[in-house]
Structure 1
């Protein structure tokens, strides 16, 4: 596969793409209505098409202004109540891009870490990185120093833009050579103070459509984060497939949701999709179920992105709030139970748009809206995507009605950053998501379970072995095993089974100590909600841990 000439002066990202033979087949400029029957025959209608030179930041901002004008709202700040227009945003983005290149020495291809709560300023920084031709590495505000250090090591991050409220943990990571610029503070060199003195126009770097725009990190079952590299055209492709053809937003929509911008679910739902359609987004620093309902009522939100857990929690609070402005509700991050869908429909009259996406594929690739919705199923392949269910061993499609591994392909594909797991995720040109699915005889796809040891809790992906490794760092812990335990509210919760050293006392005090130990080292959502002390972990005669026995709900 031949790539376009790159605009990157720092070629690290392109140099570390997987070999071409390990890429999935991409459905770009492809003929077709995309097939769902597992056939390898070429599809028959065109897929997304993009020019060779493309900067997604310029497309989302400058091209949208050209189409809709600059006086429309784009971001509403949930904390201050301020409303930014597209023209306001362009001025601020272009000034930040000037600081990046003129003051901080960022050159096209440099990786820039972005860290902060979900605010218009974080979104502006992301867009500035895009226009400057650099590579955004957006992390969660909750991530701790050790996690940040690992991400910076893998992606060779040299620059960071960080909300001043979260800089301490980034400093604690002690990343060699990392240049940190903070924003939102009073220091003379604060990013926003520097930006205020810069010219308010910036010409976006003429990046290639297949230059890497962002590296999104996800955890595998080993706990070692995987960097998923996505191109400038990928950013637009997810908007031009799922958003344009399933969600179908209008310029008057107001988007909101719970996922932070460090998740591609949030980046799409709160930045890419609204901006591609000339709409606006309400950005909330705190976006739990109890914050979403009053925000929907106050700001007349019409498009909502959140996880099934949040919909279940909001059901109990609906009576106190006016949610009549909602017209689209999107669920992803974990399986949406049919009972939750039905209860939400009965209470609101709204049909939740279910979907499955992956960080490796940037956003949602199977979904259904309106008359195509069938509660209890995920839906149909999004136009521009193909899906099938295959045998885990052979990769051959299984008969309809039988479970197997979900395999998908479309305009975006998995490209891990220098990671041998590329050959596990991509087989025979298909992306294997790690989910077990059934394809119904009429083409609808139904979720069965995760096929690996990933725990999905309230929409967060948590790698059990990463939590195990952290527990094992505690001096009183000899062995640890972490699994997902079914939970009615969150789907699953993190349950840890621990063997202590001789002389260490189990009980409430130790349980609290271990939770605090984990919470100091990992994001709080990874902390075990249940800790069980055992004399020994169940193992085979050869010493292999029998995780299935820990997952068994029987005593």
Structure 2
């Protein structure tokens, strides 16, 4: 199935992907969104109509403020009508820049009710980054919570890119901006009258740019809804549960988590602004009786440390946890949480799909590093990365991830990338996976970081998984380092647990540990000890920074060797004289 391109003057010509270049889409049985409410109404008004308007939709930890679904429906109607009055029409883009506060979610849902696509904007983006994001998506309106540190950057970027209107969500109020508080106090709460927006873009967002300039992709409102229904079926999220995540709404995970992962299903989402502070997170989870929490493995480790530091702190309501990128982290963390009654489960999602396409089934016994099985409606396979066509691999073989399902990769105004990354209806993902006999996938790193050593191909994640099982290792990342003989050698950056010496004996022990568990050519010939792995704002390990660090270390070692040789020659010269 392919989607038609809607006729809409507000959408730039060529921005959307023609049907012949789209991925193959699958419907999701039991969820015919064509006969249901529009995206914005599905997250709010649908619950009110079902008699659940009094249920709590959002809790903001820092202020203690809560909103019921009826209140959320009312407020988002007011915002939608205000945006329409400011000239927003179906197909327009509305950029939303907000910390983890209800105002950001209200602005996003209001934009959907107005028929617009939401462009999530990271809070840390500076002027040059903001100008790129605004120029690339041409929003008619920017809804921004602007603190003093970023006020000049935001206002300069808005002025430079011709954004027509600004909605001030909080913080510094730019000149001529409409203030959200005024809209919520006096705007019309009637549901806006708009034609169906299901086939229009509902979301336009950018990749993290870790492999170059960020690239935008979009999802129609219909596809975005289907992605939310798929994850609901995969996780079992339901009315009455409380979910929270250590992820910002300006990035993919935080945005989908605070909308289609939770509100679509009638759950309560607990928003935590200071999610980078483990002690505050623990108190938020305890105070609001959170049932399900999602964070990177390093955050789970820090939360466990906080709980260990004070026996009075407990999380009796926490029943499930999702922990991304576990191959880089010590197995001690999931073991510690299992002792607390919480099994940490991995997953895989991306901006290309706007949901998790791999997730362990509830109750399934899988290893902590396993991504699990394809989510309902999705088909995921391993593709031979060396083959020119689509050559599928079986269980136990490492291949490039290929995906089909209710959502898929559609680049915004990037036809060259679309033809490259969608082949014969399959979304080709730049990540390596390996399925086991039960149909669960292990994540083994990015395709562009696949290591070529002495004629062999080695996936970094395979080595990371083994090293992370060593009791001395807190977290680890593996990269390929240049080598004149082997092309590359396997290099491991290891953060050790407390009181473990960063000594040659430890290095030799880790190398022995890998050699005993993997083929000999897969052991790390280079082991660097570091305090902590470099990560981006959402916690992903920055492998390119590790490569830069290795280069710096190599230069320092070369200089030290040169100095040692010079000293030997000097001593020899003095002996001759």
TM-score range, shorter chain: 0.7 to 0.9
The reply on whether 1:172 has 2:165 as its aligned counterpart is no
Matching residue of 1:540? none
- CA spacing shift, 1:400–1:535, aligned 2, 3 Å: closer
SS in 2 for 1:361: coil
Q: 2:421 aligns with which of 421, 425, 429?
A: 425
For residue 160 of structure 1, report the CA deviation from its aligned partner. Answer: 0.3
The reply on whether 1:384 has 2:377 as its aligned counterpart is yes
Question: Deviation per CA, 1:107-149, whole angstroms, max 9, x where unpaired?
Answer: 1111111112010011000000000001110111111111111
Cα contact 2:151–2:172 (8 A) shared by 1: no
Within-5 A mapping of 1:465-484? none
- CA spacing shift, 1:535–1:82, aligned 2, 3 Å: closer
Matching residue of 1:91? 74
- Alpha-carbon distance between aligned partners in 2 of 1:170 and 1:96, rounded to the nearest angstrom: 21
Within-5 A mapping of 1:79-228? 79-102=62-85, 104-165=86-147, 166-173=150-157, 174-178=159-163, 179-185=165-171, 189-203=178-192, 205-228=194-217
- Alpha-carbon distance between aligned partners in 2 of 1:79 and 1:48, rounded to the nearest angstrom: 36
- CA spacing shift, 1:305–1:258, aligned 2, 3 Å: same
- Alpha-carbon distance between aligned partners in 2 of 1:349 and 1:449, rounded to the nearest angstrom: 29
- Alpha-carbon distance between aligned partners in 1 of 2:319 and 2:32, rounded to the nearest angstrom: 30
Question: Deviation per CA, 1:366-420, whole angstroms, max 9, x where unpaired?
Answer: 1113332311321111121111101113231123211110111110000011222
The reply on whether 1:273 has 2:272 as its aligned counterpart is no
- Alpha-carbon distance between aligned partners in 1 of 2:495 and 2:339, rounded to the nearest angstrom: 19
Question: Deviation per CA, 1:50-107, whole angstroms, max 9, x where unpaired?
Answer: 21785201111111221242111111111211111111111211111111111x2111
Cα contact 1:54–1:233 (8 A) shared by 2: no
For residue 191 of structure 1, report the CA deviation from its aligned partner. Answer: 2.6
How does the TM-score come out when normalised to structure 1?
0.76
More deviation, 282-291/334-343: 334-343
Question: Deviation per CA, 1:17-50, whole angstroms, max 9, x where unpaired?
Answer: 2232221111126xxxxxxxxxxxxxxxx47432
- CA spacing shift, 1:450–1:344, aligned 2, 3 Å: farther
- CA spacing shift, 1:487–1:533, aligned 2, 3 Å: closer
The reply on whether 1:69 has 2:52 as its aligned counterpart is yes
SS in 2 for 1:273: coil
Q: Which has the higher contact order (CA 8 A, sep 6+)?
A: 1
- Alpha-carbon distance between aligned partners in 2 of 1:445 and 1:533, rounded to the nearest angstrom: 33
- Alpha-carbon distance between aligned partners in 2 of 1:485 and 1:172, rounded to the nearest angstrom: 43
Cα contact 1:221–1:453 (8 A) shared by 2: no
Cα contact 1:96–1:192 (8 A) shared by 2: no
SS in 1 for 2:377: coil
- Alpha-carbon distance between aligned partners in 1 of 2:496 and 2:196, rounded to the nearest angstrom: 44
Tell me, which stretches of 5 or more residues in structure 1 are unaligned? 30-45, 457-463, 465-482, 491-518, 538-555
Tell me, which stretches of 5 or more residues in structure 2 are unaligned? 451-459, 462-478, 480-489, 498-534, 556-577
Q: 1:297 aligns with which of 286, 301, 315?
A: 286
Matching residue of 2:402? 407
For residue 307 of structure 1, report the CA deviation from its aligned partner. Answer: 1.3
For residue 531 of structure 1, report the CA deviation from its aligned partner. Answer: 5.4
Count of residues paired in the alignment: 465
Question: Deviation per CA, 1:2-24, whole angstroms, max 9, x where unpaired?
Answer: 64684844122x74122322211
Cα contact 1:54–1:232 (8 A) shared by 2: no
- Alpha-carbon distance between aligned partners in 2 of 1:367 and 1:202, rounded to the nearest angstrom: 36
- Alpha-carbon distance between aligned partners in 2 of 1:74 and 1:100, rounded to the nearest angstrom: 23
- CA spacing shift, 1:322–1:451, aligned 2, 3 Å: same
- Alpha-carbon distance between aligned partners in 2 of 1:384 and 1:47, rounded to the nearest angstrom: 11
- CA spacing shift, 1:533–1:265, aligned 2, 3 Å: closer
- CA spacing shift, 1:428–1:278, aligned 2, 3 Å: same
Cα contact 1:215–1:229 (8 A) shared by 2: yes
Cα contact 2:361–2:373 (8 A) shared by 1: no
For residue 206 of structure 1, report the CA deviation from its aligned partner. Answer: 3.0
- CA spacing shift, 1:428–1:80, aligned 2, 3 Å: same
Matching residue of 2:508? none
- CA spacing shift, 1:523–1:248, aligned 2, 3 Å: closer
Larger-gyration structure (1/2): 2
For residue 488 of structure 1, report the CA deviation from its aligned partner. Answer: 4.2
Cα contact 2:105–2:258 (8 A) shared by 1: no
Matching residue of 2:464? none
The reply on whether 1:310 has 2:302 as its aligned counterpart is no
Superposition RMSD on alpha carbons, in Å? 3.3
- The runs of at least 4 aligned residues of structure 1 exceeding 6 Å deviation read 522-527
